A and B are shown apart, each in its own frame.
Chain A
Amino acid sequence: MFTIEQAEWLAPKVRRLVVRAPRVSSHHKPGHFVIVRVHEGGERIPLTIADSDAASGTITLIVQIVGATTERLCSLSAGDSIANVAGPLGRPTEIENFGHAVLVGGGVGTAVIFPQAAKLREVGNRVTAVIGGRSREYVILEKELSSHCNHVYPCTDDGSYGYHGFVTAKLKEVIEECGDVGVVLTAGPVPMMRAVAGVTRPLGIKTIVSLNPIMVDGTGMCGGCRVTVAGEMKFACVDGPEFDAHTVDFAELTDRLTTYREQEALAWNRLHELTERSDASASRCKMREMEDAAASR
């Protein structure tokens, strides 16, 4: 069992969990993820290690509710525990001095770029972060990133905060204004990563994406996480999850992510019915208590 030490909402449906996992925290490098199974009977889901503290033996996960498992995980609070946390998994980010590194994070993808920013800065890069959200409350980790970056540009789709527009538009501006961008690292929803690759490909700027295919074991045993990169089959959990954005088959990834849509909807409905039913049974207990109390009177 892995105990949750802190839990807080960062944005609507986005929760930050600090989990005790000393074996993982002492080996964490940027780019790594863990596979989490919330409870007995639960599925195994991959989550990026957003931060770690070897001294206290904890890792930080930033989780967005998109389905049953993430909802269950986000319903937990400090003191609760998670059945399994395996890792760190995946290849760490290749960190070197590129001169000027631009990190582009969308939504919880910002959790991926956060540890990268710190390390890239450490080895001497100038670091710029462009982070996006639908509106103000969805922009996460701005303050935390500021301490590692030379510039942080929040962007919102509705213009409620920071730059009004998509992260790709801001990225273009940064590239044009600075003219010295050596590398772009990006993580977020697939359409966003695909658009970022679209911006940098014609300019020939090295671009690394962190892919998020469906995974099971996370150790290279099942092949469920396979993606096509430069025309070759790769297993994202062991060959990645980071790849050269310009050679990733995003259309295939997008399509494969829809494989279990029907079952995911069933699981979601079931979870919600379950919660309703357990509320119902709780109220039944309450009634029985009241009846008992009345009878003993």
Chain B
Amino acid sequence: MPTMKPSERMKIPRQAMPERHAAERAVCFQEVNCGYPPDAAATEANRCLQCKDAKCIGGCPVGVNIPAFVEAIAANDLSAAADILLADNVLPGITGRVCPQEKQCEALCVRAKKGTPVGVGYLERFVADWAREHRKDLFEPPAATGKRVAVVGSGPGGLTCAGELAKRGHAVTVFEALHIPGGVLVYGIPEFRLPKAIVHAEVESLRRRGVEIVTDVVIGQTYTIHELLGVEGFDSVFIANGAGLPIFQGIPGENLKGVYSANEFLTRVNLMGAYRFGETDTPIIKASETVVCGGGNTAMDAVRTARRLGGDPATLAYRRSREEMPARAEEVKHAEEEGVVFRFLCSPLEVLGDEKGWVRGVRCIQMELGEPDASGRRRPVPVPGSEFEIPCQVFIQAIGTKANPLLTQTTPGLNTNKWGNIIVDADHMTSIPGVFAGGDIVRGGATVILAMGDGKSAAAAMDRYLGNGSGDAAST
């Protein structure tokens, strides 16, 4: 294909992502985005200016070589595109779908300055989906090093670290507390945003690489970290148990029937399949009116899930304004199209119950934006006398999570900060020699790609710790 002139490239408009119709998807759990057809992907790839100094790469926490993989798509060499992508990112089918691209790679794309950035996330997803269907996992097992590593938690951080260590010939065992591996990817992020089949395929490919995944093991209870290093004979441990302890606001009425943490609500629906109650056994309260409190991805997932369970209206109450919402821009757009009602500058004061102990509504107060706070965002302050009620039968708290203390409390010598997050050095090593950590348990609630980045760089450091010299992975 003759190379295009930049001026020609500049003329191509950003290719829209084909989506399931809003009315249809508001009542079903099938994926909203349908993926680019091949011609749209090629067209979108041609929008990339192939910058010498590609700023987009600096926006990606794992440094994906964006111009290179995009160029391979334009040249219709998807196999090469997959090789380039997978060299930096082992879970592109997942990050292509859930990364906050508008704040990362796409935010720094030069084309964002005048118009719209290259659809890096959409293209990443396109290549990953093609590779999953068309490529056999050709994998030469590396020479075994004889070292054994335990990974705690099978979220994106743990899975990435396990894959990287297996590539280097270490024997890896992942211990997962729940009955299905994947962490937030399976219990938190809903099917309509990230089909579980994609996560399961990634997990299967790790298994083929020789990674052993043991579910139903709760580290800190079934084994302590010290036992893993001692009697269980592991040479090193990577902790990626996430930050899964739900926060409740502490307002009256939080123990009424019909109040959920977003974690419980999403776990019942995603992990336990409560939206298919009948085929599955785990129940969920189906409400005609639901209110979700929060403004992040978790709140957005909860409110869109409630909408799909029949919530009409399904309302999101956020105490700041739209501009401050931390959720991915695409989710906010999708939620709006699906009929989710947004109440900005709205803060719940009390959950109201009926005489039988069921939620009947939530009493809120109107907020206004005052002076900027420590985070630089304008602090919401209540408007006196502006209280009002929103009727609902389910109220979901999605105001964040903290570090789960289960593991840290049973691990003497493991240093944590005042929020309970594990403290690590530049090599991701904790205060216990040979024990490394990464992902949300170190950072607090962050992102999938940051957890993966931690898993990857920790694996390199662990490899050095285990005496494997260079720290470079054998080629894929």
A→B interface (CB under 8 Å) = 23-24, 27, 37, 41-44, 68-69, 83-89, 216-224, 226, 228, 233, 238, 252, 255-256, 258-260, 263-264, 266-267, 270
B272 within 8 A of A: yes
With A216-B268, A222-B263 as contacts: A27 and B221 at CB distance below 8 Å: yes
A88 CA / B178 CA spacing, docked (Å): 13
B137 within 8 A of A: no
Known pairs A41-B279, A83-B179, A270-B278. 11 more at Cβ < 8 A?
A: A86-B216, A86-B222, A218-B218, A220-B245, A220-B404, A221-B404, A222-B267, A255-B357, A256-B357, A259-B257, A266-B278
In contact, B217 and A86 (Cβ under 8 angstroms): yes
Interface residues on B, range: 35 or more
Q: Which residues of B lie under 8 Å from residue A270 when comparing CB positions?
A: 278
Select one of B218, B264, B277 contacting A224, CB under 8 A: B264
One of B92-100, B101-109, B156-164, B281-289 at the interface: B281-289
In contact, B257 and A42 (Cβ under 8 angstroms): no
B341 within 8 A of A: no
Please, which residue of chain A has its CB at the minimum distance from the CB of B263? A222
B406 within 8 A of A: yes
Please, which residue of chain B has its CB at the minimum distance from the CB of A69? B281
A86 CA / B264 CA spacing, docked (Å): 18
Q: Which residues of B lie under 8 Å from residue A42 when comparing CB positions?
A: 280-281
Please, which residue of chain B has its CB at the minimum distance from the CB of A86? B216
| B171-202 to A contact mask, C-beta < 8 Å, 1/0 | 00000011100000001000000000000000
Name the prevailing secondary structure of the A interface residues: mixed
Closest 6 CB pairs of A and B: A263-B283, A222-B264, A86-B216, A223-B261, A221-B244, A43-B281
Select one of B216, B244, B245, B281 contacting A41, CB under 8 A: B281
A-B contact list, 16 entries, CB within 8 Å: A23-B222, A27-B221, A27-B222, A42-B280, A43-B272, A43-B281, A43-B282, A84-B179, A216-B272, A218-B218, A223-B264, A233-B254, A233-B255, A252-B255, A260-B283, A267-B281
With A44-B272, A222-B264, A223-B261 as contacts: A88 and B215 at CB distance below 8 Å: no
Interface residues of B in 111-153 (CB under 8 A from A): none
Please, which residue of chain B has its CB at the minimum distance from the CB of A237? B406
B388 within 8 A of A: no
With A23-B217, A83-B179 as contacts: A221 and B278 at CB distance below 8 Å: no
Q: Which residues of B lie under 8 Å from residue A238 when comparing CB positions?
A: 405-406
In contact, B406 and A220 (Cβ under 8 angstroms): yes
Q: Which residues of B lie under 8 Å from residue A44 when comparing CB positions?
A: 179, 272, 282
In contact, B222 and A24 (Cβ under 8 angstroms): yes
Most buried by A among B223, B250, B263: B263
A260 CA / B260 CA spacing, docked (Å): 13
Q: Which residues of B lie under 8 Å from residue A264 when comparing CB positions?
A: 283
A255 CA / B354 CA spacing, docked (Å): 13
In contact, A217 and B278 (Cβ under 8 angstroms): no
In contact, B281 and A221 (Cβ under 8 angstroms): no
Q: Which residues of A lie under 8 Å from residue B260 when comparing CB positions?
A: 224
Q: Which residues of A lie under 8 Å from residue B273 when comparing CB positions?
A: 41
A292 CA / B253 CA spacing, docked (Å): 65
A32 to chain B, nearest CB (A): 8
Please, which residue of chain B has its CB at the minimum distance from the CB of A221? B244
Q: Which residues of A lie under 8 Å from residue B263 when comparing CB positions?
A: 221-223
B→A interface (CB under 8 Å) = 177-179, 187, 215-218, 221-223, 244-246, 248, 250, 254-255, 257, 260-261, 263-264, 267-268, 272-273, 277-283, 285, 357, 404-406
A252 CA / B261 CA spacing, docked (Å): 18
With A23-B223, A259-B285 as contacts: A37 and B279 at CB distance below 8 Å: no
Most buried by B among A223, A233, A238, A264: A223
With A37-B179, A41-B273, A83-B179 as contacts: A219 and B255 at CB distance below 8 Å: no
Q: Which residues of A lie under 8 Å from residue B250 when comparing CB positions?
A: 233
B86 to chain A, nearest CB (A): 31
A266 CA / B254 CA spacing, docked (Å): 27
Q: Which residues of B lie under 8 Å from residue A252 when comparing CB positions?
A: 255
A202 to chain B, nearest CB (A): 27
In contact, B254 and A222 (Cβ under 8 angstroms): no
Select one of B218, B261, B268 contacting A89, CB under 8 A: B218
In contact, B246 and A222 (Cβ under 8 angstroms): yes
With A41-B273, A233-B255 as contacts: A88 and B222 at CB distance below 8 Å: yes
Q: Which residues of B lie under 8 Å from residue A220 when comparing CB positions?
A: 244-245, 404-406
A15 CA / B244 CA spacing, docked (Å): 35
B292 to chain A, nearest CB (A): 15
A89 to chain B, nearest CB (A): 6
In contact, A86 and B218 (Cβ under 8 angstroms): yes
Most buried by B among A85, A87, A218, A224: A224
B181 to chain A, nearest CB (A): 13
A208 to chain B, nearest CB (A): 20
B401 to chain A, nearest CB (A): 9
In contact, A217 and B281 (Cβ under 8 angstroms): no
Please, which residue of chain A has its CB at the minimum distance from the CB of B266? A222
A27 CA / B272 CA spacing, docked (Å): 27
Q: Which residues of B lie under 8 Å from residue A85 when comparing CB positions?
A: 216
Select one of B267, B280, B405 contacting A217, CB under 8 A: B267
A86 CA / B217 CA spacing, docked (Å): 6
A255 CA / B256 CA spacing, docked (Å): 9
B185 to chain A, nearest CB (A): 14
In contact, A87 and B246 (Cβ under 8 angstroms): no
A86 CA / B219 CA spacing, docked (Å): 11
Please, which residue of chain A has its CB at the minimum distance from the CB of B250? A233
In contact, B278 and A27 (Cβ under 8 angstroms): no
A65 to chain B, nearest CB (A): 15
A73 to chain B, nearest CB (A): 12
A266 to chain B, nearest CB (A): 8
Q: Which residues of B lie under 8 Å from residue A86 when comparing CB positions?
A: 177-179, 215-218, 222
